[in-house]
Structure 1
Amino acid sequence: IQKARLIEKIAELLMARKLPLLEDIRDESAEDVRVVLVPKSRSVDPGILMESLFKLTELESRFPLNMNVLSRGKIPNVLSLKGVLKEWLEHRREVLIRRSRHRLGEIERRLEILAGYLIAYLNIDEVIRIIREEDEPKQVMMARWSLTDNQAEAILNMRLRALRKLEEFEIRKEFDGLTIEKKQIEALLASDARQWSTIKWEVSSIREKFGPETELGKRRTQFADAPEHDLTDIAHAMIEREPVTVVVSEKGWLRAMKGHLTDHSLLTFKEGDSLKLAFHAQTTDKVLVFTTGGKFYTIGADRLPGGRGHGEPIRIIVDMDNDQDIVTAFVHDPKRKLLLVSHDGNGFIVPEEEVVANTRKGK
């Protein structure tokens, strides 16, 4: 996450009044990163303030992990975490085999050249004579010592200063070393057990270099248990607390007027519509709407349309059936109990907390 972008985002939220617990943000970074968050007051809970920032900014990012992959590079498949790890190990084995075969090819080509050099050193005088006197020295050497084209070409390209006893010793040393390495690679390619043992060693080497205790691998951040906060408190923390007057019309239009109005005679409505009820609330409150269908709908007061127009029909805000009408609406009080009575005289008492709906479909 880019520090400048984060500060810019928080500043935008402050301007939009979506972080009511935060007064200001300052960048006091020097060599280290230092971003200062200034709360509105000393009474602000730091945990709730940070939770609101986590929810609204890139300080916390969540993303789904859908492991839909090409298994073995060919077969589309959705794998579990265990399956992905197994595929990775199989990939490491394939890389090991391909790398070993490539190295084996390089060794065989080099051994071919070195074998030609050794033949040249054993017959150095004859090689010099052929090069000086023959018109086609390459073909003559190939016929004389059964050399390959690559060997003969390498001998012809050999520099005179390489014709030293010390150079012959180095060639023999390299030849013997590559011969041993060739046998080791051939044994590796012929044994599954050796391959998995090599992969284990490679993974262990990576851990030694990038493990959590190393300078390169140590975590820059720490794991910790998520703080436990009331979700309601967090939701309220992201809403600017302001007084509003909720207005409900006879035809089911809702709006929230700024402030606590006492004179409702100045309210205007669409033609043929009129005031059904109005009550005071805060933008952090939940408004419960009870309908003739026996359902409760829950609407955040901050989500109600403003009071400049006539508001919006409730059916735009919640999924209320067309044959239902609003019976009443009020501010939610979690400690209160409600008495519900039907037209035929049956009724019951229900805790108000149990009628709060978290979806548009109501409860």
Structure 2
Amino acid sequence: MRAIWNKEETNVVITALPHQVSGAKVLEQIAGQMRSKKLPMIEDLRDESNHENPTRLVIIPRSNRIDLDQVMSHLFATTDLEKSYRINMNMIGLDNRPSVKGLLTILSEWLVYRCDTVRRRLNYRLDNVQRRLHILQGLLTAFLNIDKVIDIIRTEDDAKSVLINCFSLSESQTEAILELKLRQLAKLEEKKLRGEEAEYQQELAQLQMLLESKAAFNQLLKKEIQADTAACHHQQNHCRRSPLIQRDDAKAMNEHDIQPSEPVTVVLSKMGWVRSAKGHDVDPSGFNYKAGDCFRTAAQGKSNQPAVFIDSTGRSYSLDPLTLPSARGQGEPLTGRFISSTEAVIEYVLMADNDQQLLLSSDAGYGFICHFSDLITKNRAGKALMALPSNAKILPPLKLHGADDMLLSITTGRILMFPAADLPRLTKGKGNKIISISTQERMAGSDNLRWLLRLSAQASVTFYSGKRKLTLKPEELKKFNAKRGSKGSLLPRGLTRIDRIEVLEPV
């Protein structure tokens, strides 16, 4: 049962409470949440109950921009404004045995019982109508032969048997004729009998139609239930009535609903310690780290976005950034948050919108495209995300921008470019081949996928190898276009050892 409330200007006014709920206790529960800063959107509470308004609790929001429906849904979930009551629905059903039944079962059995009752009532009435019509037919036969009937009654000793034989009447019809009074022999009585016969014939047809037509029978059942409902209706000032209304479940607000969304930076260290800093204009490499530890990676996002961590075995884990320690300290180890294998090392941290497309790949030359939401899991043991071949390592995930994204893959000595759309969309797995790499060379460590870059068709790429720098413009990169999964082309002369790559996108 839920309290009844309405909006008066910008305030919430509660006018009815569930059974046995105290208004003072409700106000105390709300005030407790306000003191613990769980309801920053509420400014004040007032109890305006009096003899004219037995229940009138007023909740005053801080501004008219507050979503009062969301606030009340939270209060229904966290206070006595919504109460559940236990009832024992033990009853004798159609099987004549007592048992505990659900509401649906009770209503279903009652409808079966009601249908049986109405059908038996209609059949009983049908029998009475048919009997009366039978008597009327005998009486009308007597009126058509009134002189002969009177003569038989006056002259015969066994008038009943003679009438039965003479006019083919039944015993009930003959007894009705013999019980006629002299005043009922008038012509006017014959007209009344014919009128009564017509009425009964009409009722007979109606009863037979109701019993033979399922639709007509159900319509009668519905009308009778509605008539009973109207007859038993009471005004609200005579008795309390709780309307049955289908509503969404009450839902308590979490920290994201209470606090506004803010930019945050989640920082991960080499030893797997994590912390969260407010804003994006921070330098994680300059933070204070434990002895022997240093900066590994960081992700920028919003406080209402989960932070996803990916380990060296291809499993993903997720945490709420609001639960992470502040960047003022040295953070806390992720081993206390996750259940992972001893060999696994947290390699990457990501933050993005749920529909952000990501490219996951391994240095064995395989990859696939998924959404950021596919990485999220509430399981402390994480989620199996990418199946890695033996001795393979997962590469940094790439955020994709659109349908025209190109992928530039570089191995120890080869280069290949192809559209990102050529890779499959999966939620987990090994993926498809990005560039062909021999298993023997990969296992020996002489060849693997070392660089995987996303770029647009108009981007330029600059390679740095020692003191040498080589820039390839879009038209020069096109000669490296080939089918996904092929071996690609040899790297330009002098780029056997690439130290750094820069992608210059057009403005």
TM-score w.r.t. the length of structure 2 is 0.38
**Which residue pairs with 1:223 in the alignment?**
244
Distance 1:233 1:332 in 2: 22
Q: What is the distance in 1 between the residues matched to 2:290 and 2:304?
A: 28
Deviations 1:174-199 (A, max 9, x none): xxxxxxxxxxxxxxxxxxxxxxxxxx
Structure 2 matches for 1:262-301, cutoff 5 A? Answer: 262-301=282-321
**Alpha-carbon distance between aligned partners in 2 of 1:56 and 1:266, rounded to the nearest angstrom:** 43
Cα distance in 2 for partners of 1:212, 1:311 equals 65
SS in 2 for 1:296: strand
Query: Which residue, out of 220, 234, 250, partners 2:270?
Result: 250
In 2, Cα distance between equivalents of 1:335 and 1:360:
23
The separation in 2 between residues aligned to 1:66 and 1:218, in whole angstroms, is 19
Classify the secondary structure of the residue corresponding to 1:353. Answer: helix
1:80–1:345 distance in 2 versus 1, CA, 3 Å = farther
- How far residue 347 of structure 1 moved from its aligned partner, in angstroms, is 0.8
Query: Structure 1 residue 233: deviation in Å?
Result: 8.7
1:48 and 2:67 matched: no
* Distance in 2 of aligned mates of 1:277 and 1:62: 49
Deviations 1:72-112 (A, max 9, x none): xxxxxx96658xx9xxxxxxxxxxxxxxxxxxxxxxxxxxx
Give me the identity figure in percent: 27
1:250–1:276 contact (8 Å) kept in structure 2: yes
Q: Tell me the amino acid that sits aligned with residue 82 of structure 2.
A: E
Q: CA separation of 1:30/1:243 partners in 2, compared to 1, >3 Å: closer, same or farther?
A: same
Whether the 8 Å contact between 1:247 and 1:254 is mirrored in structure 2 is yes
How far does residue 313 in structure 1 lie from its aligned partner after superposition?
Answer: 1.6
Distance 1:217 1:338, change over 3 A: same
Aligned-partner residue type, residue 362 of structure 1: G
> In the alignment, residue 273 of structure 1 is paired with which amino acid?
D
Question: Contact (CA 8 Å) 2:338, 2:380: kept in 1 or not?
Answer: yes
Q: Which amino acid aligns with 2:289?
A: F
Cα distance in 2, alignment partners of residues 277 and 319 from structure 1: 21
- Structure 1, unpaired ranges of 5+: 70-77, 86-210
Q: Which residue does 1:39 correspond to in 2?
A: 61
Structure of greater Rg? 2
In structure 2, C-alpha distance between the alignment counterparts of 1:326 and 1:62, rounded to whole Å:
45
**Count of matched residue positions in the alignment of Structure 1 and Structure 2:** 231
* Structure 2: segments with no counterpart, 5+ residues: 1-20, 91-98, 107-231, 384-507
Structure 1 residues 260, 346: CA separation in 2 closer, same or farther (over 3 Å shift)?
closer
* Structure 1 partner of 2:45: 26
Deviation at 1:336, TM superposition (A): 0.7
Q: Highest relative contact order (Cα 8 Å, sep 6+), 1 or 2?
A: 1
CA distance 1:360–1:57, shift in 2 (3 Å): farther
| 1:38-89 superposed Cα distances (whole Å, 9 cap, x missing partner) | 33443333222222333333433569x798x9xxxxxxxx96658xx9xxxx
Q: CA offset at residue 240 of structure 1?
A: 4.8
Question: Does structure 2 conserve the Cα–Cα contact (< 8 Å) formed by 1:290 and 1:329?
Answer: yes
CA contact (8 A) 2:269 2:295 kept: yes
Structure with greater proportional helix content? 1
Query: Displacement, 1:261?
Result: 4.5
What's the counterpart of residue 340 of structure 1? 360
Aligned counterpart, 2:386: none
Deviation (angstroms), 1:341 = 0.7
1:359 aligns with 2:379: yes
Task: Summarize deviations over 1:123-161 as a string: whole Å, max 9, x none.
Answer: xxxxxxxxxxxxxxxxxxxxxxxxxxxxxxxxxxxxxxx
1:75-114 equivalent positions in 2, closer than 5 A? 81=102
Deviation at 1:338, TM superposition (A): 1.1
User: Residue in 2 aligned with 1:329?
Assistant: 349
Instruction: String of CA shifts for 1:241-272, please: whole Å, max 9, x gaps.
Output: 44433221111111223444423354212221
SS at match of 1:328: strand
Q: Note the aligned Cα RMSD (angstroms).
A: 4.1
Q: Contact 2:74 / 2:252 at 8 angstroms: preserved in 1?
A: no
Q: Distance in 2 between matches of 1:261 and 1:14?
A: 33
Q: 2:424 matched to which residue of 1?
A: none
TM normalised by structure 1 equals 0.52
Q: 1:23 to 1:335 in 2, by over 3 A?
A: same
Q: 2-side partners of 1:212 and 1:235: how far apart?
A: 46
* Bigger fraction of residues in strand: 2
Partner in structure 2 of residue 318 of structure 1: 338
**Contact between 1:288 and 1:297, CA under 8 Å: does it hold in 2?**
yes
- Are the counterparts in 2 of residues 18 and 238 from structure 1 also a CA contact under 8 Å? yes
Contact kept? 1:25, 1:35, Cα under 8 Å: no
Distance 2:58 2:271 in 1: 50
Deviation per CA, 1:281-312, whole angstroms, max 9, x where unpaired?
A: 43322111122222222211112123343222
Secondary structure at 1:302 match in 2: helix
